[in-house]
Structure 1
Amino acid sequence: MLKEIINTADEKMQKTISVLKKDLSTMKAGRANPAILDKIEAEYYGAMTPLNQLANITVPEGRILQIQPWDKSAIKAIEKAILKSDLGLNPSNDGVIIRLIIPELTEETRKNIVKTVKKTGEDAKVAVRSIRRDCNDKLKALKKEADISEDDIKKAEEEIQKRTDNFVKEIDKILEVKEKEVMSI
């Protein structure tokens, strides 16, 4: 029972790390990255469809994203979705391919992105600590219900705390890498 609670905590904390990495990958860093388009959906035959399901997205050069729709009739809808997004990019459409030129980031923009990165990281740390709290609550409830010694409960709490600390350190490392990526020119 104790192992199960610890394993559940581990799985949930790992999912938090995965979500953090996915969220950070969608943030602009001055380089072309197809992941920045992951949250954008275009209307296609009446349904909102993610861009990566409508087109092939490639990076032909360092700061250019190339979007080649599988169905040419979707090109206007894709262009419209990009313009509506909060990315602030102007698509260039030649009738077959849409090109997005990722502008150089100004110092101020970089600092704002770093603030957003830190806030996202802080949210991930809060989620990890919340998982720890939930597991500790389950352990306390287990102590009342089951015939488990106080020492075993204490060891399980210490194990969960150790894992929490490791995940928080991992989040810090991920944030450090993203900050360097954003601040490098």
Structure 2
Amino acid sequence: MNHIDEVELKMEETIETLDKRLTSVRAGRANPSMLSGVMVEYYGTSTPLSSVANITVPEARQLFVKPFDRSTLKDIEKAIQEANLGINPTNNGEMIILTLPELTEDRRREYVKQAKAIGEEAKIALRNIRQDGNNKVKADELPEDEEKNALDKIQELITKYNKLVDDKVKTKSDELMEV
């Protein structure tokens, strides 16, 4: 694999990471991925919530967490509380109900800042990938014109992926500010 393909692959991975991180930023609508980081103590093992329960969205601001094994209900409730999601779980004996509060204007702006910070981290990662790629191209001691072509291609990639980051952050910000 040449250096340009390697750089592009790493940039793609950065965008995938950005996508995952942006979905965790809450938009006022319930989304099962909000609980993706919640780990439940299940028979002494830390297990992802999605492995021990079914997560559904009955309404725009509500999540139902129905365990496959009802004996884990208390453990799931505890794990959700400890995850500090800003949502208080309600246990009705069969499932856990999470009702998301209405987002205030201030809270929305806070989430937009969070989304922009995640975008900035992605751009920093892209710049580091570009720097590594440039250093590898220069270390190969290619003829001057080939080196320039390779560096130009890497620059085109960073421009393309930076625009992609900006577009994704803008889309998320617009979604967050939507009432």
Q: TM-score, normalised by structure 2?
A: 0.98
Superposed counterparts of 1:162-177, under 5 Å? 162-177=156-171
> Match of 2:57?
59
The structural deviation recorded for 1:85 is 1.3
> Match of 2:147?
153
The structural deviation recorded for 1:139 is 0.7
CA RMSD of aligned residues (A): 0.8
Q: Distance in 1 between matches of 2:25 and 2:97?
A: 18
The structural deviation recorded for 1:84 is 1.1
> Match of 1:100?
98
Q: Distance in 1 between matches of 2:70 and 2:45?
A: 17
Flag structure 1 segments of 5+ consecutive residues without an equivalent.
Answer: none
Percent sequence identity over aligned pairs = 45
The structural deviation recorded for 1:20 is 0.4
The structural deviation recorded for 1:67 is 0.6
Q: Distance in 1 between matches of 2:155 and 2:177?
A: 33
- Pairing partner for 1:115 from 113, 125, 141: 113
Moved over 3 A (4+): none
> Match of 1:181?
175
Helix, strand or coil for the counterpart of 1:105? coil
Q: Distance in 2 between matches of 1:157 and 1:99?
A: 53
Q: Residues 72-94 of structure 1, C-alpha deviation per residue, up to 9 Å, x if partnerless?
A: 11110110011111211111111
1:41 is matched by which residue type in structure 2?
M
Helix, strand or coil for the counterpart of 1:104? coil
- Pairing partner for 2:44 from 39, 43, 46: 46
Q: Distance in 2 between matches of 1:20 and 1:86?
A: 21
Number of residues of Structure 1 aligned to a counterpart in Structure 2: 179
Flag structure 2 segments of 5+ consecutive residues without an equivalent.
Answer: none
> Match of 1:88?
86
Q: Distance in 2 between matches of 1:125 and 1:75?
A: 41
Q: Distance in 1 between matches of 2:105 and 2:45?
A: 39
Q: Distance in 1 between matches of 2:56 and 2:71?
A: 19
Q: Residues 127-182 of structure 1, C-alpha deviation per residue, up to 9 Å, x if partnerless?
A: 00100000000011111xxxx31100100000000011000000000001100111
> Match of 2:12?
14
Q: Distance in 1 between matches of 2:25 and 2:95?
A: 23
2:146 is matched by which residue type in structure 1?
D
Q: Distance in 2 between matches of 1:88 and 1:77?
A: 18
Q: TM-score, normalised by structure 1?
A: 0.95
Q: Distance in 2 between matches of 1:49 and 1:23?
A: 20
